[in-house]
Amino acid sequence: MIKAVLCDLGDTLINFHRIDVITSFVQGARETYVFLGDNLGLKLPPFKKYRRQQQWAIRWAYLKSKITGREFNSLNVLRKSTEKLHIPVPEDQFEELAWRWYKPLALQAKADSHTIPMLEELQRRNLKLAIVSNTFVPPSALDRHLAQEDLLKYFPLRVYSCDVGVRKPKPHIFRVALQKLGVEPEEAVFVGDSYRADILGARRSRMFAILKTTKVKPHMDPSIILTDSLRQVPGIIDQINETFFQKEP
C-alpha cells in the first residue's frame, strides 16, 4: 500500500509560473539594501554597485551549478557578496536578509487552490508527507513562505536541493527523503509538475509518480499518470492501491 506522498514545491503546491523572477530578484536586492541600511544602520556602497555584485554572484553560482550538477544555497552567496563589499552583516541577521531577498517573489506566489484540501485528505488517511524541491532559495525563507501559506504544518519533512547538494532527477535526493520517512520507494508517490525532474526522477527511483499538467507533450511516456488538478490525487492513490496492491484471495 502507498504509505507516503512526496511533493514538489514550485508550481505544484505553490504557483510561481506567471511571475517575472528577474524583476522580483531586483526588488529583492532593493529590499535587502533597505534592510541593511535603514534597519541595521550599516554603511553601504551605492545601490547600483550593491545590486550588480549580488546579481552577478547569483548568476555565477547558478551557472556553476549547471555545469557541475551541484546545487548552491543563495544564503552563502549573499554572505560572500556582502563580504566582498565590506558590509559587516551580523551573522544572526543573514536569515532575515535572505527572507528580504526572497520576499518579493513570495508575495506574488500563492498556494494552488486545491493544495490544502488535498493535504487534509492525505493527512486524514495517515499518509506520511514530505516536500522534495529543487531550489537555491535558503530553506529558512522557503519555510517562512510555507508558513504564510498555511502549508508548513503538513510537512514535517522538507528536503531542499540546496541542503542536499544535488537536484532532481538525481536519485540521491529522493533516497534522502525516503530514508527519512522510513518507507520503501514502492510505497511512495511523488507529485510534481516537471516531467524530467519530478516524474522521470521519481520513476527511476522506483516510486510511483503523478504529473500535474494541463499539456501532454509528444515526448512524454504515455504510461505516466497525469492530473490537471491536485484534488484528483487522493483518488489516483486509491487506483494505485487497487491496481498494484490487491490483496490475495
If asked whether residues 218 and 140 sit together in one domain, one would say: yes
Q: 139-148 and 94-108 are packed helices; what angle lies between their axes, rounded to 10 degrees?
A: 50
* Contact yes or no for 76/58 (Cβ under 8 A): no
CB neighbour list of residue 233: distance below 8 Å, 6 or more residues apart = 5, 118, 122, 189, 191, 210, 227
Q: Is the pLDDT of residue 181 over 90?
A: yes
The verdict on residue 249 lying in a domain is no
- Which of 56, 84, 108 represents a domain boundary (last residue)? 108
Same domain? For 85 and 151 the reply is no
**Same-domain pairing of 32 and 91:** yes
Nearest to 214 by CA among 17, 20, 21, 19: 17
Give the domain range for residue 58: 21-108
DSSP conformation letters of 139-201: HHHHHHHHHHTT-GGG-SEEEEHHHHSB-TTSHHHHHHHHHHHT--GGGEEEEES-IIIIIIH
Average pLDDT value over all residues in the chain: 95
Which residues, 6+ apart, have CB-to-CB distance to 224 below 8 Å? 195, 199, 203, 209, 211
Nearest residue to 36 via CA among 79, 80, 85, 87:
87
Range name among 189-193, 207-211, 217-221 with the lowest pLDDT average: 217-221
Domain closes at, from 83, 108, 133: 108
| Each residue's pLDDT tens digit, 46-71 | 999 999 999 999 999 999 998 888 99
| Residues 222-244, mean pLDDT to the nearest whole number | 95
End-to-end CA distance of the chain: 16
- What pLDDT, on the 0 to 100 scale, is given for residue 174? 98
User: Do 48 and 84 sit in the same domain of this protein?
Assistant: yes
Kindly state the percentage of the chain with pLDDT values over 90: 89
Q: Please report, for residues 40, 57, 199, the alpha-carbon distance to residue 225 in angstroms, rounded to integers and kept in the order given.
A: 51, 39, 9
Tell me, yes or no, whether 219 lies in a domain. yes
Is residue 85 pLDDT above 80, yes or no?
yes
Q: How far is CA 84 from CA 30, 71, 77, in A?
A: 18, 22, 11
Q: Give the pLDDT of residue 247.
A: 62
Domains: count for the chain: 2
* Residue carrying the nine cell digits 542536499: 164
Same domain, 85 and 135: no
Is the residue at 73 inside a domain? yes
239 and 155 belong to one structural domain: yes
196 shares its domain with 172: yes
103 and 117 inside one domain: no
Report if residue 64 sits inside a domain. yes
CATH code assigned at 151: 3.40.50.1000
240 belongs to a structural domain = yes
What would the grid cell of residue 60 be? 555565477
Note whether 124 and 53 are same-domain residues.
no
Q: Which of 46, 78, 108 is the last residue of a domain?
A: 108
pTM: 0.94
Give percent of the chain with pLDDT exceeding 70.
Answer: 99
